[in-house]
Structure formats: structure tokens, C-alpha cells
Structure 1
Amino acid sequence: MKKLIGLSCILFCSLVVTAQRPVPVKPRILISTDIGGTDPDDNQSMIHFLMYSNLFNTEGLISSPSYGHGTKQNLLEMIALYEKDLPKLEKHASGFPSPEALRAICKQGKQGAAPFAGYTKATEGSRWIVTCARKKSDQPLWVLVWGGLNDLAQALHDAPDIRKKIKVYWIGGPNKKWSANSYAYIVANFSDLWFIEDNSSYYGFFSNKGMPDSVNTTDYYDRYMSGAGNMGKDFKNYYGGNVKMGDTPSLLYMMDGDPNDPMKESWGGSFEPFDHSPRQVFNRNTTLTDTVTVCSLLEFHFKGPKANIPPDSACFMLIVKAGIGEQKWAGYYRGDGDYVVRYAPKQAEKISYTVTAAVPGFKEQAGQFVVNNEWPGIRGKTDYPLGPHWYTDRNDPQLYDGNIQGGDYNKEMAEGSAAGLGKALGMVKE
């Protein structure tokens, strides 16, 4: 991923920075975000989007928090800040959407993870995806997913005809953990989608490796952003102003060149096709002799008592212990004594887990496994086969940023971007 990706772009009006290539047509986009959840980087990315919203035909902003307490209100609060800054933006560029138009397309999606089936019932957000996808247009609807896939999975379940009308760019990685069930539903049933699965390349966006001194994520706010409008002031509330914006690469991908070519080099990453989504199924407790693929879908089946519980009921807990601490994941009863949970590890490490259930006769269990760093790895018998239009992080070893696959950078473009900072800031701070 080119390391210029937006460090010069944040909050600086719609300035065309060094080496930006024209986009063939103004793209139709819909953003599904877990803003207001556990990670405030969505607030940072939403600020970035609003400052560049004149570059898109935006058809939907959906609150879809797989985890945490995000709501549509979080979107409306960001639009209120945008409304205050809009007069300054309009001095330098045209085509910005009105605050009223943006508010009208804010929709509430599912709150919380999908059950084992991967879908439940329609939400305002999932219905809006269907409505937008079915609009008569010569262009696809680009669905940019910044969190879980729950509302997209619901929309596809309810209206499978939209599969040919949408293209998806998903910031995966840790978001796959929060929506493992909806991801499984999509890859199992809609392998013919056009889909970018960015599991790690986006890390290159907030890495300082190889960056010039003038572009640094940790002091960028104080050096360049302070005083840049109401949204600039608000940016300080997230990570103390340190730049993360892990979802922004999906926007930058739409701003630099032809988005229909995912293998091109671009600000939002360069991707390659892959024909299998790794999935490993365990019908036993694992040990450290078991190695799994990073970002793969793990499906654990545990034997327990035959219970009078409706199928697909959350009734037990997988408690994962790793370097990040402890996290809990709901497991589901599938009938006939079969207890199942899905999990997706986001990084190479050793993981320990315990399984507990408030079900009479269910014995607590434990296990361990090792996560390697080779996505998508060698094809396995239980993998999900994919169609010809699925793309993911490039696996060339030379493009790793440390242990981050695809997190490469382009120093020349970063330096060229930094050179334009003075002019851009002058435009915004007027």
C-alpha cells in the first residue's frame, strides 16, 4: 500500500495530491461502519470521508456495530460537525453533499453479532443496501465495509439478486472475528461476488516505517492538523489525535485510478486473486501441535449433552486467551449434542482457550493452537471455494511491513505528499 494514503489528505479539502490518478467515473458508494463501537478509528475515517465527500455519489451510511454500542446517532454527530465546516470547504471545491442529504441516508443496521446461521432478520440498514443496489444504474454500488458483515449478509440473504449489482471492499482482519458467522454465510453462498478482503494491507496506512520526518502518525495532529476546523478539533478526541484511520484505505482505493482493477497499485492497496477462503474444522480439543492460518475461519465442534435448546441458540462461551488478553465468543447449539463456535485469529501467535456452558452435563474444556502468518495458505479440504473475483492482500514476502502481509509503502509518494501539506493546510485554515 502506498504510504501516502491520506496522511496529507486528512481534513485538507479536496486537494488532488501528488501522483493521484483520475477515477473514470464518480463512484456510487455505501459505507457500513461500526462507528461508536470499541474502536474510534471509524470516527477518524468518517471525518476523512466527509472532507472528501464531494468525490463520491454517496447513497448510504449504515451503523452496523457487530460489537459495542454504536448507533446511527454517532453518524449524525459527525455530520453536525461537517455542517459547521462546510462553508469553508465550499470556498475551494464544489459538489459537497448537503448535511440534510447525508442525514437522510443514515440508517440503523444490526447491533451485535449474527448467530451461527449468519443472518437473522432485516434491519433498516440491510433493507437500504437492497434499495440502493437495485437502483437502475450503469455503475455498480460499491459497498465499503468498515466493521462486520452482518447487514451485508442479511441483504444478500433477503435479496440474492443484488450479488451482481454490488462490489465490496471489506476491511477484514480483526473485523472477521466480530462477524465470523456472517462471513461464513457469504463465502459459502455468494462465492460469485466481486469482493476485496483486506485483512492486513490496511496496517500500512498507520505504520511509520520508512516515512519522512514530516509525515508521522504520532505527532501529525500537533504539527499539521491543530486548528483545522471543527472536525479537525474533534479528531483530537480519538487516540489523542494519533492517526490510525484503519478504514480509510477503502475510500482512498476509490479515489485513485480505476477501482475496477484491484491489482493496480493504489493509495488503498494492491491486491491479488485468491480462490479459496481457508477454513479448518475441529471435532476435538486442539493442542500446540495444531497450526492454523492467520485470518482463517476456525470452526470448533464440542460434544455435550443433548439438550432441549432450540437450534442456533447461543448457549456456551469460547474464552480466548492470547497476547491481547481475554476475549469471549458466543457458541451455538446445533442439535444432537453438537456445540459449535467460529473464531478467526487476526495475527500470528499462540492461543489458549477454555469452553464453558451453563448447560447441565456440559464439561468445561480447554485447548491451544498456533497461528502462522501465511494467508491464505495452502488449500485445505474444508476451505470455502471462491469465484474469479475475490481479491486479497498480496503475499510477496518483499511487501511485508514487519509481519504485516501487504503492508508495503512507497516512500517517494509519501515524500511527494508531504511536500503539498503547506498549501493544503492553508486552504482549510482560512
Structure 2
Amino acid sequence: MKFFEGLSVPIKGLVATVEGKNYLPWPTGLALAGRPRHKMVSFTGSPWLKFFGGGVVAVESDGQLVYLPIMDAKFRAIPADLITARDVNDSQKRALAKTLAMCHGIGMSLYGGHGEDVEAFFGSLNVQPGCNLAAVMPPVEEKPGSNSEYVEWAVAYSAARIVHPDFRFEVLCSEVPDADTGVVQRLPYTRINNTYSVAVQVTYTDGAHQVEHVEWLPIMGVQMTKVKAGEKKLDHQALLSPTVTDWNRSIMRCLTRAIAETTGYGLAVYAQEDLEALHGNVEGSAYTRTAKRESAKAATRVQQGAQAPENRTARGSDAVERTNSAASQSAGNLAREAIEAIRRAGRDTEADNLKLMAWLGEPADKDIASLSEVQHQRILRVVAKQAEEVAQKVLAKLKETGKDKPADRQKLMQWLGEDPSADLATVPIPKLEKALKALDPTPVH
């Protein structure tokens, strides 16, 4: 089964949940994919490969090899000396389920954060067969505790496979001597002094051209790092003692970056990330905001879309029509939510609209409803964040004045003309600011 066809296969009602995580049982995925040929990879006669204090298994199908760390029922990496034959076999079947998703599209929406709603996942990608990936801004996620955004690997990979059906990637290995025995092994990483790096090679056909690119990425995470004030925990540091989970995460990040560099899909997001690193991640800087907008505009200023190939299968065409309809309806709903959010934020004047378009890097006369789905999502996130911040100030002021009992909050909500049982964060921002002024007559900043 082709990836694009498999991506649209319904899985509603077939998904199981373990420890809060959704997954498609491997027998179900195998049946839905039409039982494609696959094989469990052997590492010099062993069904698993040991490194970084743990182990990995791998499955190959349709010319693509997919790794997965050996994990327990709670999806935690198992220490190498505790791994059993059952652990290896269970992990192989999980790896098979991931391979069916990555090679044949079955259940890919689970990895893309849309659960069993395959149409919503496809619609969120904003791509169709034959389109120009460099002209599309992908959906983004926000890194916890920061204003930085990133593209999920499942999103980038699915987009690449839809547009380039022959897209494949390979995790490159290097010869690594064992520190204790001196025995040289071929392992899927490279050691650089006391740190480590991974490499992923991507290949695909782009029109008449064969694309081949190798991308490198350090294995990174939170690390104690020396700073002027002493030592501090910092993220995005090269790890000295990574785990197989750190390794796996870096592989998928490396793959996502390789896709951005070769196809342009998500390149603007990396441009923003690079600017934040260069300018010390100073949020709110006029220079940084302007540079982000211009970088994103430059990366996406290409003619939108293209016609899908004429030889698309009837099933694929039907899938496109269904997903286009769902995407159109979803986009319309999202636009209405964004417009309502702006109104509730009290930022719906003409002057506010000019500021909004400048922030998004769009022409001043552009209509809010015609913005992209990604831009609507950004508006919703920012408004929700602002409402939460003001609501927290109101709660803090209620506590400070000894008026934080449930009855006091209900009276406040009634005074504001809102549902007494509603969450403060859902109250329009102007009303929240009115409440702050009433509780504390000092100017609100």
C-alpha cells in the first residue's frame, strides 16, 4: 500500500490506550496495510543492539529501516542488563507498528498528535501530492516553558512522503571502539570527544533531480553547564551520558531538520530558532520580532500549491476530496475562533488590526479570515496566554485582599456579567482588566 493511500485509511475505534498513550495494535495495522513484506533486523546475529546503557530493535519494510528503543509498558527505556527476550519481542512489535505508519501511512495520525482522526491530521499538513513544500507553512507546536516553536517529526515526514513517494532516510553508523575492551563496533552515532552526534541521510526524487543529503545533529538535552554565576541547568546542550531515548529523539529531530533543509517545509521555523539563538532569545525585542517575520516571509514567499499528478489513484483522489472538505471546514471554524478571540481580547479596532498584520508579517489590508491555519493557531495561543496571565493577576489580587473564597469569585463573575461557574481565563481580557482596576486602582501594566 502506498503511503498516501494508507494515510487516509480510517482507524477510528481500532486504537488502544496504554498509560495514557494511544497506539494501533500491530496485528490491526498489518491487516489494514494488506500484510506488506517486512523483516526484523538482525545485528550480527542478535535481535537487538546495545548502546548508551540500553538497547534498540529495528524493522525494515519497503526499503526503509525504522529503529525503536527497548521500553517497558510505561514507555521507559529498560537498562541493558535488565532486558529480557520478552522485552525485545514486545519492542519489535511496537517497532513494527511504527514501521507500518512510516512506510505505509497506517496510523500515522497517532504520531502526529491527532489520535484516530486521520482526516484532521491530513488537513493540518496543508499539503497534497505534487505541491511545492517550500511554499507551505507547517503546523507548529510550542516548546513547554518557552515561546519557541518546532515541527513534529511525524508532520514533516508525512509531508515529505506525500509529495515525494520515494522519500527514504537512513540512520548512518560509524565505527566506535569500546572504551573498556577496545573492540570496534558499528553503531548509529559518532563520538566527538566526550559528546555524541547522529547523522541521517535522506534521498528522494524531485522532478528530474535526485536529492541526497546528510544531516548531522548533536545528541542534546538538559545539562549542567558552567556560566558566569557558577553552574546552571541549560537545555539544548550536548549530553555527556545520553540514553537510547535521547538518541532516538535526536534521530527524529535530525530527520525533521533534513526535510526542512531539502524540501523547505518548516525551514522558516528553523530560521526563527536560529535568530533566537543569535540574539539571546530576547523575546519582545523589536529587532527580533521583525527579523522573525521577515525570515518566515522569505522562506515561504513562493507560488502556492500545484496540481496533483494525473495518475493519482481513484482511492487517493477520493481521499484528497474528503480531506480537502474536512480541512476547509476546519479552517473556517479556526478562522471564526481566531476572530472571536481577538474580539474577546478587546483588540478588534482598526489600529489593532494593523498591529496584528505587522506582527504576522502580512499586508496591512489583509482580512483576518484569509490568514493561514497556522496564523490562526498562533493568534489563539497568544490570546489564551494573555488571558491566562491577566486571570492569574486577578486571582493573586483576590488572594491579597482576602477575597478569594468561592463566593467572592462568584460575586466577581456576576459583577462582570459572566457565568459564575466559568473559568476566569475565559473572561474577555477587558473585563479582567476592569476587575483588576476595581481591586487595585493603581494603573494596570
Give the TM-score normalised by the residue count of structure 2: 0.23
Structure showing greater Rg: 2
More helix by share: 2
